[in-house]
Amino acid sequence: MSFFDDLRNLDRNNVGGWPKSIKAFFAILLVGLILFLGWYLKIRDQQDELEGLERKEQTLKGDFSKKQAQVVNLEAYEKQLEDMKEELRQLISQLPGRTEMPKLILAISQAALGAGITNDLFQPGPEVMKGFYAEKPIQLRMTGTYHQFGAFISAVASLPRVVILTMHDVSLRPGAGTATNRPGNAAPPVGGVLTLEGTVKTYRYLDDEEIAAFEAANAPAGANKPAGGK
C-alpha cells in the first residue's frame, strides 16, 4: 500500500493506530508549521529591527568618522578662525569710527569741491545700524565733467580712512548746456558736463558700546528677563 493510500484510509478516531510513516509526516509538518508561525510572528519583526539597527550603525560610523576628522583638525580650525577674526578686526579698524564720521563726510564734500565739481545737493541722512557696522546714506546731486568725477574718486580713495561709497539709484546724465543730438545711446564727450544724482552710502564700524546697545535693542522679547520673571 502506498503512502497516499495510507493517508486516504486514515481513521481520525484512532490516531494511535496510524502507521509510523504517517505519524512522522504529520509531526514534521506540525514542527514546520510551528517554526513558520514563530518566524512570521516574532523573528521577522526582529530581523526588520536588526536591519534597521545595522543601517543606523553604518550612519553612526560615518558620523563618527567625520567628527573624528574634525577633532583631529580642531587645532588647525581654531587657528584658522583666529586668523580670520584678526583679519576682520584689521579690516574693520580701517573704517572710520563714530567720532571720525562727521569729518570724513566733510572731507568727501571738500574732495568734490576740490575737483571742481558743483555740489547742488549733499545731504547726509540718519545712520542705519547693521550689527557691527553702520551705513550712512548721502543724497547728492553733483555737476561736473568726466575728468572732474575721476579726480573726485581718486581724492576719496586717497583719504586716510577706507571710504566705501555704494551707489543706490544713482543716475548719470548730461548736464544743462550739453549737446543732446548724439546718435543712439552714445556717451557724452569726455569734456561734457554731467549730472550725478541719487543716494550713496558710506560705512563706519561700531564700537563695543554701540554693538552692545544694538544687540540689546534687537534681542528677542524676554531674552534678557531673569528666570521666573514676569
Please report the pLDDT score of residue 144 as a whole number: 92
For the chain, give the mean pLDDT: 77
Average pLDDT of the residues in 64-88: 84
Q: What gap in Å lies between CA 62 and CA 68, rounded to an integer?
A: 10
Residue 58: in which H helix or E strand, if any? helix 44-72
Q: What is the pLDDT of residues 171-225, one digit of tens each?
A: 778 866 544 444 444 444 455 888 888 888 888 888 888 888 888 888 776 555 5
CA 166 to chain CA mean position, Å: 23
Buried b / exposed e along 201-215 (16+ C-beta atoms within 10 A): ebbbbbeeebeeebe
Residue-wise pLDDT tens digits, 78-125:
888 898 988 877 777 777 888 888 888 888 889 999 999 998 888 888
Q: Which three cell numbers stand for residue 34?
A: 510551528
